[in-house]
Amino acid sequence: MQHIKLFEDFGSPQSSGRRYATCYQGDAEAAVGIIDEAQREKLQSAIDRLAAKWPGTEDQLKISVVDVTGMGYVMHDENGEFVAVPNSTNTEDYAYYVAKDGRLGNENSDSFQVYEEARLFDLVEGELLCIDHHGHAALMGVDEFIKTYIG
């Protein structure tokens, strides 16, 4: 299925009818947002600069693009994979639910036995929702994210 991504239009949703989320897997943080190509390239450039400075980090810092057309959330599982999940998903089932405002929801919920290690992200346009390994969540622009987490 990887070859299909090469031919899809990652431009504006209007041109392709598809909607894509940019997902970032860091050493101690993860982030998800619907950002444009220029912002995605800026993020990738910051990752590339860090990898050039610290060889070996390219395995720990990476971007993936997930088709979220018709979906409401992106789940980041315990294996570091990002998966689009439907609007009907019950956010109460997740210990780590990062809401549109950048706040961590459900941290005191008792109903999160199945997805205790998974993080659920709302879909936000133009910014990144992020969570670090301490469980701190935030909503921030790409520039602030780079400054805070990548350097």
- Tell me the three state secondary structure of residue 48: helix
Phi, psi of 142 (to 5 degrees): -60, -45
Q: Tell me, what's the pLDDT at 71?
A: 96
pLDDT digits 0-9 by tens, 108-151: 555 545 567 789 999 999 999 999 988 899 999 999 999 999 88
Q: Tell me, what's the pLDDT at 8?
A: 43
User: What pTM did the predictor assign?
Assistant: 0.82
Q: Tell me, what's the pLDDT at 45?
A: 94
- Tell me the three state secondary structure of residue 133: coil
Q: Tell me, what's the pLDDT at 107?
A: 56
pLDDT digits 0-9 by tens, 67-98: 999 999 999 988 889 999 999 998 988 888 99
In the sheet that holds 29-33, the strands lie side by side as: 62-67, 20-25, 29-33, 128-132, 137-140
Q: How far is CA 123 from CA 21, 38, 59, 97, in A?
A: 8, 18, 25, 12
Q: Tell me, what's the pLDDT at 17?
A: 80
Q: Tell me, what's the pLDDT at 109?
A: 55
- Around Cβ 82, how many Cβ atoms within 10 Å? 22
Strand 137-140 with 128-132, pairing: antiparallel
Q: Tell me, what's the pLDDT at 112?
A: 45
* CA 86, 90, 91, 93 torsion-angle sign: negative
